[in-house]
């Protein structure tokens, strides 16, 4: 295995355009790229620069198109609460498509930034994929992170919407998110336009309308939304560094290169197939 990986790695270094062209053939494109690598401005390389695609389509829709809609797409297994759920591709796309409509109703469109401050629950996945479906740029902030750290990311990203939950569960304790969010919003110079909060059963909190709405309320008049066509080099998400050596730095991932890296890694490193 190590020898095989070494050979593949060397090939990717010697012939990067050929290597990543083959990877791109396994990706869904609204418009297939004809330009694989633009290296005229190193180290700012552009991959598949004339390709048009969508991350959410490659994560969900393509599997339904190819007959895998009833296969399991997401497994939720909480070691804290003991809750277990499975979602098929069809079920997950329905949730994502509907929540995409909810975000659109709150003014989120292509290029807008959204902060996701949630525990590791299915709704967090739905939120991320919904942003991708719309072409919005999301930034996941670890649920329970300190208010000042959340505020710095709200400011840097210029987020329009913050998605959160009423609380998170950790071994032996419940972390109330709303007080942390409230303090972060006071500290932040950038003022978000809307807060969407998922009420966890038995841990509901009071919301201040009209700026704050519940997850369920946001879905009440939402319509399903199709994937927005995105250029390969537009932005997928922002991931912030820890900030231990200074101000947190936002690392931005492009769409096409990110899909290609994930597609290749899941198959060749993690040995993931459709079952």
Q: Give which of 149, 165, 158 is closest to 207, Cα–Cα.
A: 165
Range 240-246 average pLDDT: 82
Q: What is the predicted pLDDT for the residue at 20?
A: 97
Does residue 118 sit within a domain? yes
Please tell me whether residues 17 and 84 are part of one structural domain: no
Q: What is the predicted pLDDT for the residue at 9?
A: 92
Please tell me whether residues 85 and 210 are part of one structural domain: yes
* pLDDT tens, residue by residue, 215-236: 999 999 999 999 999 999 999 9
Residue that has been written with the tokens 């290597």 in this structure: 19
What range defines the domain where residue 15 resides? 1-52+256-275
Q: Which 3 state secondary structure label does DSSP give 60? A: helix
Does residue 244 sit within a domain? no
Does residue 6 sit within a domain? yes
Please tell me whether residues 186 and 262 are part of one structural domain: no
Residue 3's pLDDT band (cuts 50, 70, 90): low
Residue that has been written with the tokens 């050979």 in this structure: 7
Does residue 236 sit within a domain? no
Question: What mean pLDDT is reported for the chain?
Answer: 96
Given a cut of 80, whether residue 112 has pLDDT beyond it is: yes
CB atoms within 10 A of CB 207: 17
Which percentage of the chain shows pLDDT scores above 70?
Answer: 99
Please tell me whether residues 213 and 262 are part of one structural domain: no
Does residue 233 sit within a domain? no
Peptide bond into 43 cis (omega under 30): yes
Given a cut of 70, whether residue 24 has pLDDT beyond it is: yes
Please tell me whether residues 103 and 124 are part of one structural domain: yes
Please tell me whether residues 108 and 61 are part of one structural domain: yes
Give the integer Cα–Cα distance in Å for 23 and 45. 17
Please tell me whether residues 38 and 63 are part of one structural domain: no
Given a cut of 60, whether residue 2 has pLDDT beyond it is: no
Which CATH number do you get for residue 109? 3.40.50.980
Please tell me whether residues 213 and 165 are part of one structural domain: yes
Does residue 184 sit within a domain? yes
Please tell me whether residues 100 and 184 are part of one structural domain: yes
Please tell me whether residues 64 and 143 are part of one structural domain: yes
* pLDDT tens, residue by residue, 45-62: 999 999 999 999 999 999
* pLDDT tens, residue by residue, 123-134: 999 999 999 999
Whole-prediction pTM? 0.95
Q: Give Cβ neighbours of residue 252 (< 8 Å, ≥ 6 apart).
A: 137, 235, 237, 238
Q: Number of structural domains, the chain?
A: 2
Please tell me whether residues 29 and 63 are part of one structural domain: no
Please tell me whether residues 223 and 93 are part of one structural domain: yes
* H or E, element range at 179: helix 177-187
Does residue 75 sit within a domain? yes
Tokens of residue 222, six digits: 């939402």
Contact 197, 178 (CB under 8 A): yes
* pLDDT tens, residue by residue, 154-187: 999 999 999 999 999 999 999 999 999 999 999 9
Does residue 238 sit within a domain? no
Residue 275's pLDDT band (cuts 50, 70, 90): confident
């Amino acid at each position: 295995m190590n020898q095989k990986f070494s050979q593949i790695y060397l090939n990717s270094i010697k012939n990067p355009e050929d290597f990543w062209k083959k990877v791109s053939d396994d990706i869904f494109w609204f418009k297939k790229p004809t330009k694989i690598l633009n290296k005229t401005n190193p180290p700012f390389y552009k991959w598949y620069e004339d390709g048009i695609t969508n991350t959410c389509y490659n994560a969900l829709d393509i599997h339904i198109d190819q007959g895998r809609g009833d296969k399991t797409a997401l497994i939720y297994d909480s070691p804290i609460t003991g809750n277990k759920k499975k979602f098929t591709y069809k079920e997950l796309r329905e949730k994502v498509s509907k929540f995409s409509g909810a975000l659109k109703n709150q003014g989120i469109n292509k290029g807008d930034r959204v902060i996701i401050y949630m525990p590791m629950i299915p709704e967090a996945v739905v939120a991320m994929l919904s942003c991708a479906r719309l072409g919005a740029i999301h930034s996941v902030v670890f649920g329970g992170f300190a208010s000042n750290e959340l505020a710095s990311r709200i400011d840097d990203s210029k987020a329009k919407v913050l998605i959160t939950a009423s609380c998170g569960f950790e071994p032996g304790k419940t972390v109330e998110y709303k007080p942390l969010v409230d303090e972060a919003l006071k500290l932040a110079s950038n003022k978000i336009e809307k807060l969407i909060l998922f009420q966890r059963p038995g841990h509901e909190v009071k919301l201040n309308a009209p700026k704050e709405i519940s997850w369920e309320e946001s879905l009440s008049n939402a319509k399903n939304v199709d994937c927005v066509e995105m250029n390969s080099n537009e932005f997928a998400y922002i991931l912030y560094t820890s900030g231990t050596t200074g101000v947190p730095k936002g690392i931005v991932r492009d769409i096409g290169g990110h899909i290609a890296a994930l597609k290749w890694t899941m198959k060749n490193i993690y040995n993931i197939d459709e079952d």
